[in-house]
A and B are shown apart, each in its own frame.
Chain A
Amino acid sequence: GEDVEQSLFLSVREGDSSVINCTYTDSSSTYLYWYKQEPGAGLQLLTYIFSNMDMKQDQRLTVLLNKKDKHLSLRIADTQTGDSAIYFCAEIPISGGYQKVTFGTGTKLQVIP
């Protein structure tokens, strides 16, 4: 089955950029997502990218996709303390109908004031 891996922890200083990395194994066309989870809360969809794209930018967020290496990254510019949370990458293979989401292990981002 699909496997999605992330580093567990990242610590950055406020104002710096954060880069959260993710690797996946599915080789078919797929949607790739980044979700944010604050303590005790559900998941908030941040952004997504389709596997035929290389990059997507949305305000402070930049998603980079290296399809050859199956590597996905989320860059947060000017990281703020409110960005402290757990970030999950997720993929959904496209093969018709509703597909199951495979989540990464989650990366806890700690922003130091």
Chain B
Amino acid sequence: GAVVSQHPSWVICKSGTSVKIECRSLDFQATTMFWYRQFPKQSLMLMATSNEGSKATYEQGVEKDKFLINHASLTLSTLTVTSAHPEDSSFYICSAPTDTGVYTQYFGPGTRLTVL
């Protein structure tokens, strides 16, 4: 199946710093990518839809100035958590849809963010 990678896989940062997470589609092009957040023992919550060449679409309650998304190419989307605080600590997962006759989404391995 299609492969989506994320970097870094885990990151620890101090409160107040910014952290960038990359999401790459390795063997296909993705004009759209999705960013999710997952708290421990909970399901995935969609944060935003990243669109190549245009602004991201954020879900209700997600601060766009806090979570900056850039989809600069057909294979790369980045999520920057600005001025991170401990409550931003979470597991962040990206996904990219492919259309191979059946609509599916392939997920990255996730990035564990811990803010001290």
Is B44 in contact with A88, judged by CB distance below 8 angstroms? yes
Contact A98:B32 (CB < 8 A) given known A35-B107, A45-B104, A48-B104: yes
* 8 Å CB contact of A31 from B6, B34, B103: B103
Q: Please, what's the 1-or-0 string for B87-116, where 1 marks a CB less than 8 Å from any CB in chain A?
A: 000000101010000111111111010000
Interface of B, secondary structure class, is strand
Contact A41:B110 (CB < 8 A) given known A94-B103, A98-B32: yes
Is A48 in contact with B102, judged by CB distance below 8 angstroms? yes
Q: How far is the CB of A36 from chain B (nearest CB, A)?
A: 11
Give Cα A92 to B32, complex, Å. 15
B43: Cβ under 8 A from any A Cβ: yes
Contact A101:B110 (CB < 8 A) given known A43-B93, A45-B1: no
B46: Cβ under 8 A from any A Cβ: yes
- Say which size band chain B's interface belongs to: 20 to 34
A24: Cβ under 8 A from any B Cβ: no
Is B43 in contact with A105, judged by CB distance below 8 angstroms? yes
- Say which size band chain A's interface belongs to: 20 to 34
B49: Cβ under 8 A from any A Cβ: yes
A68: Cβ under 8 A from any B Cβ: no
Give Cα A100 to B34, complex, Å. 9
A42: Cβ under 8 A from any B Cβ: yes
Is B104 in contact with A88, judged by CB distance below 8 angstroms? no
- Nearest chain-B residue to A92 (Cβ)? B103
Q: Please, what's the 1-or-0 string for B31-44, where 1 marks a CB less than 8 Å from any CB in chain A?
A: 01010000000111
Is B43 in contact with A101, judged by CB distance below 8 angstroms? no
- Nearest chain-A residue to B105 (Cβ)? A101
Q: How far is the CB of B35 from chain A (nearest CB, A)?
A: 12
Q: How far is the CB of B25 from chain A (nearest CB, A)?
A: 13
Contact A41:B104 (CB < 8 A) given known A88-B43, A105-B43, A106-B43: no
A–B complex contacts, Cβ < 8 Å, 5 sampled: A43-B44, A45-B1, A45-B106, A45-B107, A101-B46
What is B's interface to A at a CB cutoff of 8 Å? 1, 4, 6, 32, 34, 42-44, 46, 49, 93, 95, 97, 102-110, 112
The 8 closest A-B pairs by CB, nearest first: A43-B107, A42-B109, A42-B107, A42-B110, A103-B43, A98-B32, A103-B44, A98-B97
